[in-house]
Structure 1
Amino acid sequence: MAAYIIADVDVTDPIQYAQYRTLSSIAMQAYGAKPIVRGGAVETLEGPWQPGRVVVLEFPDLDTARRFYDSPEYGAARQAREGAALMRMILVQGA
């Protein structure tokens, strides 16, 4: 069953964040992530949530998504992101 990583990102340093995007793309390819949403317009429909940049990645299953997140490849991306963005991220199982 498909699984999704959903991230709400507030970018504070666009130049440094670009390095994160490059490295995270490498990790995404290695683990078969399919970008469903990668930025774009956001409209809040209910509640006080005011997300910045929204990213949704689809994976074949929860285990693959967890392996991606815990991988050395994505670890390098997370390290590159330090100080460049405030990230809120969840993992959900698809229907």
Structure 2
Amino acid sequence: MAAPGYLIVEMNIKDMEQYRKYMAEAPAAVKAAGGEYLVRGGRSETLEGDWQPHRVAVLRFPSYETAKSFYDGEQYTKIRKLRAGATDYFNMVLVEGVAAPV
């Protein structure tokens, strides 16, 4: 079984009205690509270090390659444009998870 791929995002939304346009489209694209949201906003607390994210999202995909294909795909490329100007910053990393034991 392939290890899952995770997209980890930190952002600061400055224009919620504009960002809502992005959020109206993004979940369907994530689901169509086999992904799911594990974290989308919600409360957070820094337990160690100096990282102070405003908002965090974590998405899981069946594999690293699936997540990368989602990000690079035509559908999400168009959707990303909907959040242009809606955030002060939007940082996203793709990481490979641990393969489940058989």
Query: Does TM-score exceed 0.5, indicating one fold?
Result: yes
- TM-aligned CA deviation for residue 64 of structure 1: 0.3
For the 8 Å contact 1:39–1:55, the answer to whether it is kept is yes
Give the aligned partner of residue 25 of structure 1. 27
Give the aligned partner of residue 69 of structure 1. 71
Give the aligned partner of residue 91 of structure 2. 88
- TM-aligned CA deviation for residue 46 of structure 1: 1.2
- TM-aligned CA deviation for residue 59 of structure 1: 0.3
Task: Give the Cα–Cα distance (whole angstroms) in 2 for the partners of residues 38 and 22 of structure 1.
Answer: 14
Tell me if 1:3 matches 2:12.
Answer: no
Structure 1 ranges of 4+ moved more than 2 A:
none
Greater mean alpha carbon deviation, residues 24-33 or residues 58-67:
24-33
Alignment size in residue pairs = 95
- TM-score, normalised to structure 1's length? 0.95
- What's the % identity of the aligned pairs? 43
Note the residue ranges of structure 1 that are not aligned, 5 or more in a row. Answer: none
Task: Give the Cα–Cα distance (whole angstroms) in 2 for the partners of residues 40 and 82 of structure 1.
Answer: 22
Task: Give the Cα–Cα distance (whole angstroms) in 2 for the partners of residues 18 and 71 of structure 1.
Answer: 21
Task: Give the Cα–Cα distance (whole angstroms) in 2 for the partners of residues 31 and 20 of structure 1.
Answer: 17
Task: Give the Cα–Cα distance (whole angstroms) in 1 for the partners of residues 74 and 44 of structure 2.
Answer: 31
